[in-house]
Every structure is written in structure tokens, then in C-alpha cells.
Structure 1
Amino acid sequence: MVAVTTVTRFAPSPNGPLHLGHAFAAIVAHDRAMRDGGAFMLRIEDIDGARSRPELAGEFREDLRWLGLAWRETPPQSTRLTAYRAALESLRERGLVYRCTCTRAEIAAAAGAPGPDGPVYPGTCRHNAPSPDAPAVWRLDIARATAIAGPLTWHDERRGLQPGRPELFGDVVLWRKDAPASYHLAATLDDAADGVTVVTRGADLFAATHVHRLLQALLGLPVPVWHHHPVLVEADGRKLAKRRGAPSLADRRHSGESGTAVAQALRAARFDTGISLSEYVDREP
């Protein structure tokens, strides 16, 4: 029997520079693969509409070299749109997705308890088909999908066997108005296409795995194991974020700081003042 090589990935979006939180995620994925003599992959997730800045991909590569990491690069998401559309069409033909024209304000006003991604969608357009001419997203009919898939489980290396609970999200968006596939659909298809066997990502994305496991079952995709690591947070407990001006790796690199020293500090969980690790991150407003 041929042993399966461990394959991990780091998949940044070029909508802003990388910071220490990204460095930690990349190091976790890199070191997890190296532990087994496997492969660490870099995938650029560049389908975020006008927010994507292609020139940042080169900066990301320089940042990873500065940290002392080596990788193989997979095709960026912008080359995979045909596969995303084919998966959506497969689900549509089976009656598992539907068009939705509801605004965020309408959803917030009509929804019940909040879910991991925000207010749980109340199913308005599932019950009342919108105009075919109106701009729309495509949502997964969670109730119908889970009935077809049956009971599901998935394994996290740090927390063990988990029961699949995609219903926590309600009818998630799989295809967006302003960009192609949503994170849920794209990441699931990409990891399968890239042969990823261990999905490493922050604990703030733990709940998303329930949806991804369901999509794997519906689309007949291989099932990896997951490794949800702690995330870096600021003194107020919020996750480091580009939009709040977290110091970039590029700035550190250009200032002459040692990337290998930064990587060693991250591996040892020793951080700059005001930055710490957190196992859970509340959903930000």
C-alpha cells in the first residue's frame, strides 16, 4: 500500500499585505508538512473582485522567503473559474441551490439567531423565487443537502472527531454577485484539486469546516483532516487584520528585521507587546 504524502497549503488573498498572523498560519502549514516529509503549497486566492491587487502576490513570495520557508505553487484561483461554475451547475441540476436577491439589511431584519457567518438566512427566496432578471447570489439549500448527504463527521487533529453541523450556517452563499465562487465553495474545490491532505487554518474558521465537509460529500470530493490552530490577536482580543493597520511583513522585511528570527519567535509563541495567541475568535462586526 502506497503511503499518502502529507500536503498542506497557505492560501492568502492579495487584497492587502501579509502581517504576523499570516506568517504564523504559513509557518504552521509549512512545519506540519515538513514533519511528515510532505509538501507545502502556496495558492493565491485572487478572485475577490476589485479588492484583489495582483502585484501583492510577488510581495507574498518575498515574505515567505524572508521567513525561511520553501514551497510549491499551485495555480491561482483566477484560473479555476470553470471548475467552480461546473460544481455550481452540478448542484443546481440536483435542486440543491437557489437564487437569492435579498440584501444584507433584509436578511438582518428577518433572521433569527446569529450563525457563525452572521445572521442565519431565513429562506425568503427559497420559498418565493425572485425575478430571473435581478442580480442574485446562489445559496445552498442546507436542509435538502443534509438530507441527501446523511450524517457526516470530520476529524480535527487538535480536537478529535467532530459531528457535521452545517445547519448552523443556514443556507450559505456559494456564488456571489460581486465575484465568482464564495470562500466555502472555492476553498473546498481548491483543496481537493491541489491534493491537500491536511487543511491547516485558524481556529476562527473552525465552524466553516461543517459546510466544507457537506460540500465534499455532495460533490464526491476526497476528505482531508483539519488542523485548526490558534490565531494571533491584539490586546483587545480582536484578530490581527490588514484593515486595522497590523504591521506588515513587507515593512518588517524592508526595515532590515531578520525573518528567521521572526519565524523562530512565532514558533516559540513569543510575540511583540500587545499580541498573543487565542484559541477562539469571536465574529467581528
Structure 2
Amino acid sequence: MRSPEVARYSVLPGGLPGPVYGSYRVLADEPLLVNMSVSSRRNDSTGSEYMEHAPCISQIATLLADPKRSAMMWALMDGSARQTEELALMAGLSPSSASAHLARLAAGGLLKVEERGRKRFFRLAAPEIGAAVEALASASIASQPRQIPETLKRANPMLKRPVAPASLLQARLCDDHLGGTLAADLYQRLLDAGWIEQFDQRVVVTHKGATQLASRGVFVQALAHRNAQIACACPDWSERRPHMGGSLGAALLQLFLQSGWLTLPNDSRALQVTATGQREVHRFARETELEMAF
């Protein structure tokens, strides 16, 4: 699984110099080398051999299938460490029941335990765990009907929008790009300004958009060398509207971080918006009256 950490940008394929934004380069990233758990095999390999070496997804799915356990996992999505009693309250469990569920999650490798005196604190075992849980949340949102009757929402709590720690709602990591309210608003501005166009699930960068992005140090032609879509509409589970994914989404996040508009604390998926970022990110793709005249 790809790490949710921000993609590192270095040089273009072939060693070509890249575009510069201020004193920073925003470039196509290096080819991603993934250590796959399924080794290369000849075409005559049997199904049992693949089963033997395939990741044990069902074990993780079983752990997350329980609503109480998934609720406690969800409460830890911001990278924080929480006590058993606090997680029990959030999930509507007794401390003893919560302790049993947390023990299963820790034994399954999804959580790690920190001993602080007599207290036990739990946090996500790795950033990849948070990325996986968020991907499942996005998939659940994308698979739901656009309009869900209120009676069905009351009857099935799983149809309600996930409620996450407040720190994740404004700006957060979503795989290698920006998610949250800030990202969804940016995506809408890109559409309104004519920098991108969306046709059903397909998103394209317009000539105007490529020109404007290049003036800000993001070269679409360079991003085309990556083994990913240049632009795509990624479902945002907290906003129920899309934000920018693909290599363009990753490049924009890198630009915002390098410019000091966003910061990423250690062991957290929540991005902090700086005072400068509050101004500059909201100005990004927001055309002035003079620009609109042309």
C-alpha cells in the first residue's frame, strides 16, 4: 500500500531540470518502488500459490467489521493517543468491553499500546492504517446513493456521514494529496475558474489551467510522466463532495507545504494551516476582476 506520506519530488525523468516556484521545485516524483507481498510468478502458477502469498485482507476486514471497533479506530484517525476509558465513551461501551476490543485491534497489528504509568494509551500502529480506514470511508461514501431518505439514515447508522476528530475536517492527508474542507473548496474554485473540467468521473486540465498552474510552478506536462492520473475527483468523506486527487493533487499539496502554507505535525494526518496559508490557499484559483475581463 502506498504510504500516506507526502510524495517526494526531485528531478524529472531523464534528469531534466524542473519548474521552480520561489526557491522550490515542484516536479514529477520519482518512480515508486513497491515491495509487493505477492511475488512474480509464471502464468502456470496455481491459485493455491497465490492464496498462500496474498495479503491477509480478510483478517483486517474482520477486525474493522464490528461497528464499535471501527468507531474507536475512527476516533484515532488524527494520530492522537487516547485512553481506554475515553475510547469506551466515544464508542458507547463499558471500559471492560472497550478493553477487549482494543486488545483485539492491537493483536491484529492495527493499534499500538503506550504504557504511561498505570494508564494504557492506544494509537494507530502506522500511517498506512489511517490511510486504509480513510479509503474505506471514501469508498462507502462513493457507493451510497446521492439522496438518502432520512428514514433510512435513522434505521441504518452506517449511512450517516462519518464524524471524525475536528482536527481532520479542515485539512488532512488523503493518500498523497490534500483532503478536507480546504481541498473541496479548492476543487470547486478550480472548476469555477475554468482551470479544470469534469466529465462524469473524468477530470481534465484545460489550457487555461495548465498556463495558470505553470505560472505558479506546477507544470502539468511534467506530472504526465507519473504512473498515475494527472487529475481525478477523489470523494471526500467529510464533505460529500470531491477534492483534487491524482498527480496534480499531490503536486498542489507539495507546493502548499513547501510554501509554508500548510504544516504536517509528526504522527498525524491532520494538516495545520498557517496564517499565510489561510490567505494564500483561499486566493489560489480565485480570479480577480481584471483576470476575468480577459
Q: Which has the higher helix share?
A: 2
Relative to the length of structure 1, the TM-score reads 0.26
Give the structure-2-normalised TM-score.
0.26
